[in-house]
Amino acid sequence: MSHAVAAPAPAVPPVAAAPPQVASSGPPPDYLATILARLARYKLYPRAAQLAREEGTVQLRFTIARDGTIVRWSIVQGSGHESLDQAAEQMIERASPLPPLPPTLGGERLEVTVPVRFALR
């Protein structure tokens, strides 16, 4: 009678925790419009920047959790004026939380990059 010897099981590397899912297809246009409208309500053009005739666009990237909480944000490209960059940062802080992610949007988080334009009329 022969006995089969089981081969040792191959070593399996430990599995790292999966990073949170981030939707990459972009938000639906109506949700993006809602976000932009909310941000616009909280945007303040610094008076000193207006008087100094400073204009520019800040590229602001932020990540929204499913419940609308802004998880993190950063300036991707500054305006060239510190006061305008700070105004964009203050805007995102005041606007949080944003409306919750729509149920049709997959993933637990959404990353968005938007231009925040400061222009004199």
Q: Determine the average pLDDT of the residues in 55-74.
A: 96
Q: Any idea where the domains of the chain sit in the sequence? A: 22-118
Residue 9 has pLDDT above 90, yes or no: no
CATH class of domain segment(s) 22-118:
alpha beta
**Cα–Cα nearest to 115, from 85, 81, 72, 83:** 85
Instruction: Look at the alpha carbons of 51, 52, 53, 54 in this order and tell me if their dihedral is positive or negative.
Output: negative
Residue appearing with tokens 């300036």: 75
58, 116 in Cβ contact below 8 A?
A: yes
Across the beta sheet with 56-65, what order do the strands follow?
Answer: 22-23, 109-118, 56-65, 70-77
Q: Which of 7-11, 39-43, 46-50, 105-109 has the lowest mean pLDDT?
A: 7-11
Tens of pLDDT along 14-59? 444 434 444 445 678 899 999 999 999 999 999 999 999 999 999 9
| DSSP percent split of the chain into helix, strand, coil, nearest 5 | 25, 25, 50
